[in-house]
Structure 1
């Protein structure tokens, strides 16, 4: 039976993300939706309009300056953690340029490339551990693999020492689970605080030291800003990459013809990664942006100054205007895999090269070790993450057959 939705309410459960996005997309360039707590926002699901608003200087991510209703929100509003932290993610104008420039000075292609060997080693260790499973044993690939790879990579990137690496990896994995709580986040914050304090005394060849050394003219990041930058990078780069890996594995296992193309060399792992990002983007809706001025989208649709905007990067990836009538199909041979999974414009995800690098190592290694890998349950029984923001699974039960 086709799921039914109230026209103006975003389903918070994440059960029917794509169907809901399709319904919203046909309503116009933007349509009003109701979020948790009775908050009204403009939902934008069309590829061209999402891209245009990402480039528009009248669109802000600073709720203090550009969302008057923000001051009246309760402290326990469910979406507050996504908008309330002061960092490059929520900064606007000159403040954003300053923070983004210094983060870019640290998060360079050279820095990402410097951990490639470590990512290879971590992936090989994990697949060996998975290979010790008993014949026919069912494993949760999310807990055993797709969560672990980005957590370990981020620890290498920022320079987490061996003395509390296991604790940091555990905390990173925990905050991305549905059952994660404030204690997990506080523990991660504690780990990063200890790391930053240490790096101020003894710098190393790592991203944390690069952030401390970064300059914007004569300015540098404060210790608080370094901590905030690390929390942003880890928060944005762990669960999203885990979802990318989980979805890529699932798409290949449920589309054996596509996996066969990759194994035969008729498609590449880069094709798999980009098509997964397009069709099953790890971030579906990202709260929130705000109109700093009135924005006329045409078709009698005007977003007024001070109104919140919910951009749907996942829906944009399946827009038939941008990707054709088969936009909902997973096809690694698709000629145009252009997507907005990492955002666009001044807030384009700074960690995109890292996510792509991790996936390009993890996916071929997994399928090389387990060419007969299979889902342990029908795909329809996989439980989606209970959120409309991210696109992933609570668990990914598989049988790692060699």
Structure 2
């Protein structure tokens, strides 16, 4: 029989992410949970403790070095989060290894490179909105599928230099990576197919180099003076397309949803006070695209938030929990308020692993939202919020669909 001290078993479908996080937080800043696949872990929902976890070297993301259960073969191929912990990239690297890999990626996301993408982002947003405008008026339009989804996908394809023939197949694979509910066989097959497609991308760009991220990384991998393998190159592309696409889809999706369900806030944004940048920061705080970020491991025995964690124990950081910590945001932590003074958040992580693509995600949202809302100021949800469903899985935090009446 269960009692209140049993660990909270995380819902693999993520059907009520914020409700579940509130229940986890009620147990304390660092709490026992059970991950999909039956793996026990510690959830950190407290902002101060999470900053401590993410800024030090006592916690690692490398399971090969620091997760004994993984190293000893206790974590099988059927572990639903395997692709999140197993792919060799800066996402799963530690210490100097992480710094080495990150140094190859950082140049793709400099402020200069990001700013250079703005005209293309604007053209893509205008094109998508024009397509929506041309559609027959009668029925509802799914803005997730028709706007929030294709915009970041086209931007990331442009950034990475993905040729036309690989765009469709890669899109299918990206969807599968975030679907934790896939069977073990389907998840492994999807992962292998995606790695194959990315190897195909590398082959294509090796023959047809251009001014894109893939071509730049190939030049590093082909330089014997640089310590960067082709496997790491493919892992980096895998990380970029997964981390850089779904997260921005959810940011745009949640922004549209929160503005449509808070008409006063929408009116204020269209009026320019607070500005779109402020709105986006509050969306990132209130409904971050990554609710839980798997997975970290204690490098040694440590005490966090008054709880003793043993060396090798898995730790699940919870930015969505930290972003609504009452100790930081007071009684209004659970309210969406773009005018609030403190909108600091951990939607893009914190410390060494902070997301290098954060400026690009912000830019995409800052272009996309005003383009959409200025064209369709009368837009409204076509169903009640309860009917929207959620993205499968407990990691990504978005809606299954977003049907609206545009006019």
TM-score range, shorter chain: over 0.9
Give the structure 2 partner of residue 206 of structure 1.
212
The two structures, once aligned, show a CA RMSD in angstroms of 2.3
Contact 1:288-1:310 within 8 A present in 2 as well? yes
Specify which of 348, 354, 357 is matched with residue 360 of structure 2.
354
Structure 1 residue 48 corresponds to structure 2 residue 54: no
Higher mean displacement: 182-191 or 315-324: 182-191
2:62 corresponds in structure 1 to: 62
Q: Which residue of 1 aligns with 2:143?
A: 141
- How far has the Cα of 1:185 moved from its partner? 5.0
Instruction: Kindly report which structure 2 residues correspond to 1:30-49, keeping only aligned pairs within 5 A, or say none.
Output: 30-49=30-49
**Following the alignment from structure 2 to structure 1, what is the Cα–Cα distance between the partners of residues 179 and 134?**
25
2:128 paired residue number: 126
SS in 2 for 1:103: helix
SS at match of 1:385: coil
Structure 1 gap segments, 5+ residues each: none
Verify the 8 A CA contact 2:209 2:215 in the aligned structure 1.
yes
Residue 278 of structure 1 is matched in structure 2 by 285
Whole-Å Cα distance in 1 between the matches of residues 155 and 145 of structure 2?
A: 15
Q: CA 1:17 to 1:169, structure 2 compared with 1: closer, same or farther past 3 Å?
A: closer
**Runs (4+) off by over 6 Å:** 177-180
Are the structure 2 counterparts of residues 55 and 63 from structure 1 closer, same or farther at C-alpha, using a change threshold of 3 Å?
Answer: same
TM-score calculated relative to the size of structure 1: 0.92
Structure 1 residues 238-387: aligned runs within 5 Å = 238-299=245-306, 301-387=307-393
Q: Does 1:96 align with 2:98?
A: yes
Q: Any conservation in 1 of the 2:179–2:393 contact (CA below 8 Å)?
A: no
1:186, 1:123 → 2: CA distance? Answer: 32
Asked if the contact 1:261/1:267 (under 8 Å) is kept, the reply is yes
Q: Give SS of 2:37's match.
A: helix
Deviations 1:50-71 (CA, angstroms, capped at 9, x unpaired) = 1110001010001121111112
Q: Kindly indicate whether the alpha-carbon contact (under 8 Å) linking 2:12 and 2:394 is maintained by their aligned counterparts in 1.
A: yes
Tell me if the contact between 1:103 and 1:214 (Cα under 8 Å) persists in the aligned partners.
Answer: no
Residue 240 of structure 1, CA deviation: 0.8
CA deviations 1:111-149 (Å, max 9, x no partner) are 222222111111111111111222231111111111101
Cα 1:81–1:163 change in 2 (3 A) is closer
Shift in Å, 1:210: 2.0
Q: 1:107: Cα distance to partner?
A: 3.0
Cα offset for 1:151? 0.5
SS in 1 for 2:88: coil
Which of 148, 158, 180 lines up with 2:160 in the alignment?
Answer: 158
Q: Provide Cα deviations, 1:356-386, integer angstroms capped at 9, x if missing partner.
A: 1111111111101111111110112210123
Q: Tell me the distance in 2 between the aligned counterparts of 1:347 and 1:178.
A: 23
Q: Which consecutive residues of structure 2, in runs of 5 or more, have no partner in the other structure? A: none
CA distance in 2, matches of 1:174, 1:122: 25
Q: How many residues end up aligned between the 2 structures?
A: 397
SS at match of 1:237: helix
| Partner Cα separation in structure 2 for residue 28 and residue 172 of structure 1 | 34
